[in-house]
Structure 1
Amino acid sequence: MTLLKIKGVRKTFTNGEIEEEILKGINLSLKEGEVTAMVGASGSGKSTLLTIAAGLQPTSDGQVIFEGENMSIMSSEEVRKVRASKFGFVFQFAYLVPFLTVEEQLQLMLDVSETKLKKQEQKNEVNRILKLVGMDHRKMAYPSSLSGGERQRVAIARAIIHKPKVLFADEPTASLDSKKSEEVMLLIRDLTKTLNITTLMVTHDEEMLVYTDRIIKMSDGVILQDVI
């Protein structure tokens, strides 16, 4: 089922008297249970498209349709609520809170996303997700004692703890070695299938594309190639 649609999206930035069109009428539909990777040179527009799809910045023109609702005409508060409850985010670096344990990182996310779980339900859900990502044995550890791969696993757990419909991943393996990168990509792929979510990812690492269902190649603000 199509979950997220991008229709005729354009994005223009103005620098003084110079106007630059970063996205030039992008059309894209994303389905549940699929990992879609966007590739292209720096400046191709892939990161801009990711942030627009995620409601992190507005379009200059066009629509972002999520679950049949046009996010482009929502208020900033309405978009924030969608992001908090329906979207999950994984970045190049884990950005874990240094003074919180692994368990507390996930509990904090549940609080921020305004889930209505009771304390024991929260604890059960945290344990379930940590086991799913292979980090249940480290739930009392602090970020400083984790390896890079472990920190990224916790970041992924934090991104899915509130049961989002879409996972946005911006260069999720860029700070990892090849072995850890493969492990993280396998985890993202497996979680996408197991939880039937939609994953949209930006990456420069072409070796990670074997773990995706679809590859979108961008250049100069347009989609050059869309391979399923």
Structure 2
Amino acid sequence: MTILQLNDVKKTFIYGEEEEQVLKGISLSLKEGEITALVGASGSGKSTLLTIAAGLQRATHGNILFNGENVSEMSQDQIRNLRANQFGFIFQASHLVPFLTVQDQLILMLKLSETKLKKQEQRDEAAKLLKLTDLYHRKDAYPQSLSGGEKQRAAVARALIHKPKILFADEPTASLDSKRSKDIMKLIKQLTKTMKITTMMVTHDEEMLLYADKVVTIRDGLVFN
């Protein structure tokens, strides 16, 4: 089932009197339970496409449909609500809150969403996901004491704790070595399938494409497959 549909998406940036068209009309569909990898050279537009799909910036032209609803016509408050409850995000850096333990990172995300779980239920949900990501033994640790791989696993757990429909991952393994990169991608693949999440991922690492169900090549703001 298609959960996210991008229709003729274009994006133009204006720098003084100059214009740069980064996306030139991209149409793309993402299905439930699949990982779609966006690849292409630096400056091709893949990260711009991901941020538009995630509601982090607006397209100049075209529309984005999430479960049939037109995200392009939503207010900023509606988009913020969508990001807090239906979308999850992983970036190159983990962006963990330095003064929160691993467990509290997850609980914070639950509080930001519209969860109706009570405090103990929130802790139980966090514990369940930390066990899945092999981080339960580090639940009381602070980010400064975590390894690079542990930080990124914590970021994955935080992104998924509120059970989003779509996971947006921008170079999620860029800061990791080869072994840790594979571990993170195996984890994302496993959770995408078991939690029936749709994942859109930007990557430069060809080895990571082995974990994708679909690979989309972006070149000069257009799709080339």
**TM > 0.5 fold call:** yes
Q: What does residue 191 of structure 1 align with?
A: 191
Amino acid of the structure 1 residue aligned with 2:163 = K
Amino acid of the structure 2 residue aligned with 1:186 = K
Q: CA deviation at 1:128?
A: 0.7
Q: What does residue 200 of structure 1 align with?
A: 200
Aligned length: 225
Q: What does residue 114 of structure 2 align with?
A: 114
Q: Does 1:213 align with 2:207?
A: no
Q: Does 1:124 align with 2:141?
A: no
Q: Does 1:141 align with 2:113?
A: no
Runs of 4+ in 1 over 6 A off after TM superposition: none
How do 1:68-87 and structure 2 match up within 5 A? Answer: 68-87=68-87
Q: CA deviation at 1:97?
A: 0.9
**2:195 & 2:69 partners in 1: Cα distance?**
22
**1:164 & 1:63 partners in 2: Cα distance?**
21
Gaps of 5+ in 2: none
**1:99 & 1:56 partners in 2: Cα distance?**
26
Q: What's the secondary structure of 1:210's corresponding residue?
A: helix
**2:139 & 2:48 partners in 1: Cα distance?**
34
**2:205 & 2:192 partners in 1: Cα distance?**
19
CA root-mean-square deviation: 0.6
Q: What does residue 39 of structure 2 align with?
A: 39
Amino acid of the structure 2 residue aligned with 1:203 = T
Amino acid of the structure 2 residue aligned with 1:187 = L
**1:16 & 1:105 partners in 2: Cα distance?**
40
**1:220 & 1:43 partners in 2: Cα distance?**
8
1:37-57 C-alpha deviation (Å, 9 max, x unpaired): 000001100000000000000
1:67-100 C-alpha deviation (Å, 9 max, x unpaired): 1100001101111100110000000110111111
Q: What's the secondary structure of 2:224's corresponding residue?
A: strand
**1:95 & 1:58 partners in 2: Cα distance?**
23
**2:36 & 2:17 partners in 1: Cα distance?**
36
Gaps of 5+ in 1: none
Instruction: Return the TM-score normalized by structure 1.
Output: 0.97
**1:212 & 1:143 partners in 2: Cα distance?**
29
Q: What does residue 172 of structure 2 align with?
A: 172
Q: What does residue 30 of structure 2 align with?
A: 30
1:117-144 C-alpha deviation (Å, 9 max, x unpaired): 1011101101111111111111011111
Q: CA deviation at 1:114?
A: 2.7
Amino acid of the structure 2 residue aligned with 1:93 = A
**2:110 & 2:6 partners in 1: Cα distance?**
28
Instruction: Return the TM-score normalized by structure 2.
Output: 0.99
Q: Percent identity?
A: 64
